[in-house]
Amino acid sequence: MSSKAIIVALDKPDLASAVELAKMLDPALCRVKVGKELFTSAGPAVINALHDLGFEVFLDLKFHDIPNTVAGACKAAARLGVWMLNVHASGGPAMLNAARDAIGGPSTDVPLLIAVTVLTSMDDAELAATGVSGVAADQVARLTGLANQCGLDGVVCSAHEALSVKANYPGLVSVTPGIRLASDSADDQRRVMTPERAVQNGSTYLVIGRSVTGAADPVAQLKRIQQSLTTV
């Protein structure tokens, strides 16, 4: 398991609070995620500030629009020097191909481009309400195949589906939100799993938020989680 397999979600409302939290972490132990609320509030300045602190950044904006618009957004994100960015796989092959073409083929010089399959806040009933038949695992499998076909680097899925992703598409990375410690509440997530179980299931990167950011000593918590993963 990579020493920086953990991605800490900086789910803060503004630049100052995000930087304050980041300063409590260690870029040698983790990467960080910037989502919609923080980026809408702070804009590219937060990416620059996190880079100045030594962090690699996952820009989690889940682009989903017409192909030309998504291509432009991906180009703009790549210019920021982010480590990873994502789009919704349900945008379809034209959109996914446009995103891939916009930032170039997979290489060390461009961000990892990953596709969101089914949000971890959704269960089978939530998915059915959107008109998608079948269980979440089936939809994840369909969209993972599409992401692979379009040359993306990986997918966002729950840790419950990571094992199937690894078995069927070993070249793809799996980014798994919904990671909770055994003592934590699931909060607004549905398909959750502990870090140890997620790694056993084949997760490449674990997105962890409140379990780390809500701890009295976030770095100590990170070290405890990493230690728990060394025996997996």
Task: Clarify whether 166 is annotated catalytic.
Answer: no
User: Can you read off the two tokens belonging to residue 99?
Assistant: 């995103």
What does the DSSP 8-state code read for residue 216? S
CB neighbour burial string for 168-205, b if at least 16 within 10 angstroms, e if fewer: ebeebbbbbbbbbbeeeeeeebbbbbbbebbbebbbbb
Alpha-helical segments (H) within the chain:
15-22, 36-42, 44-52, 67-79, 93-103, 124-129, 136-149, 159-168, 195-200, 210-213, 218-229
CB atoms under 10 Å from CB of 153, counted, come to 19
User: Can you read off the two tokens belonging to residue 52?
Assistant: 């100045």
Distance CA 62, CA 223 (A): 29
Q: For 209, what's the count of Cα atoms within 13 Å in the CB-facing half-sphere? A: 18
Annotated catalytic residue within 4, 62, 75, 166: 62
Q: Among all residues, which ones are annotated catalytic?
A: 62
